[in-house]
Amino acid sequence: MRGAKAGLLAMLLTLAAFSASVSADEDSRIVINDEIFSTSGPVWISVSCLKVGCPGMELVIWSDGVEESHEDPHLVEWSGWVEGNVSWQLLVDSGTEANDLSTEVILSRMDEWTEYTDLPNIVPSPGSQGEYPQINTTSPCQLHFCGAIDLLSEGVLYVGALENQSDKDAVMVVGDPGDVLLLNSLRGPSEIHIEIWQRGEESKSLLDTIERTEMGHYFEYPAQGELWIRLVHSAEEDYSPYEFEIIRYDDDSEAPNGGELSNPWNHGEALPFYGDSSLLYHGHLAASDSQGDSLLIASGAKMVLEPFCSFTDIVSVEIMLHQMDGSSLAVESGCAEEFETTEQTVSIEFGLTTQGKTAAWSI
């Protein structure tokens, strides 16, 4: 009997020791993220380790009643179509903190800008008619003012997915010649790039191919026909959600009262000088715009000014001081140095031109 009791005691001690060991292992795991959201469309969740390695890094997903787990010390990710709720946890061993990790999530924010029906694989043949999918967006921002705006984007954040190795997605972008467009971002788990196409009545042509590393990319709407963009990924990839941001700057709404900005200025009174409030004026030059843009800002006499000019490509700047008597004086230094207005200066005009380049400017 004593032997039986001794054996039972030994077994209990062994189980207790095993339980303590399991608890110690569990206690060493930390839940860094624990989130749930509701959506309809493609979803991608990716967490990468910014250190040499993050031991015990595990991504656990619950979607459509199914649990999935992915574990790797460097990168964990999950992709899928979600209808309803999806919840996820990120666990790591102790010693890894939130700032050691980089997290990216793609999910549908607006039904209008989500691929619910598979987009065409190719840009349609020239002249063919059909109900083709379109992206129609115009930036609400003009010079120094932005109207009511979805803070997520100045344009459209479009979410879709390439279903398999052979899937491609093509979509038409509404616009007119002279408009400037910006491909501002491209995200997803695979090596996706964007082709820019022109389609007319008699021909279609590939204008450019933009890699993810080339975002944001400014370009001009074609002089003839339609603009299409086409998303392509590497042949080795399977289901790949993507998100891209595209913004259209309509040249018909550049000026204060509508229409295209002229050079020289012919849009009425000078715009306000903001001084210490540090507000910027913004605009865009299309490659085909030979005249360029101008900006007329109210000024005063004997002011020492230091212009801050920023451009995404090579832009030439001419600065003129307009005087009370209607004459003008050139500022030879342009944006390079500070300058002083005269006793008669009432406004300052910036003339901006580019040689065959599409560029954004801010002053």
pLDDT at 185 over 80: yes
Q: What is the pLDDT of residues 309-348, one digit of tens each?
A: 999 999 999 999 999 999 999 998 888 889 999 999 999 9
Class for the domain spanning 28-106: mainly beta
**Looking at residue 184, what is its pLDDT?**
94
What is the number of other CB atoms lying within 10 angstroms of the CB of residue 185? Answer: 14
Note every long-range contact of 93-97, with CB atoms under 8 Å and residues 24 or more positions apart, other chains counting. Answer: 93/28, 93/29, 93/30, 93/54, 93/55, 93/56, 94/28, 94/29, 94/30, 95/55, 96/30, 96/32, 96/49, 96/51, 96/54, 96/55, 96/56, 96/57, 97/32
DSSP for residue 9: H
pLDDT tier at 3, thresholds 50, 70, 90: very low
What average pLDDT does the segment 128-136 reach? 90
What average pLDDT does the segment 211-223 reach? 93
Among 102-111, 270-279, 291-300, the least confident range: 270-279
Output the CA angle 66-72-77, nearest 5 degrees. 50
What average pLDDT does the segment 54-66 reach? 94
Q: Which residue has the tokens 């990168």?
A: 75
For the domain covering 111-249, report its CATH number.
Answer: 2.60.120.510
Is 24 in a helix, a strand, or coil? helix
- Compute the distance between CA of residue 84 and CA of residue 65 in angstroms, rounded to an integer: 11
Cβ-based neighbours of 55, under 8 Å, separated by 6 or more: 73, 92, 93, 95, 96
Q: What is the pTM of this model?
A: 0.85
Name the average pLDDT for the chain. 88
Q: What is the pLDDT of residues 4-19, one digit of tens each?
A: 434 433 333 333 333 3
Instruction: State the virtual CA torsion across 232, 236, 238, 243 in degrees, nearest 10.
Output: -40
By the 8 A CB rule, do 312 and 266 touch? Answer: no
Cis geometry, peptide bond prior to residue 275 (ω within 30 degrees of 0): no
**Looking at residue 275, what is its pLDDT?**
54
pLDDT tier at 261, thresholds 50, 70, 90: very high
**297-to-117, 274, 343, 363 alpha-carbon distances in Å:** 49, 9, 16, 10
What is the number of other CB atoms lying within 10 angstroms of the CB of residue 235? Answer: 7
What average pLDDT does the segment 135-147 reach? 85
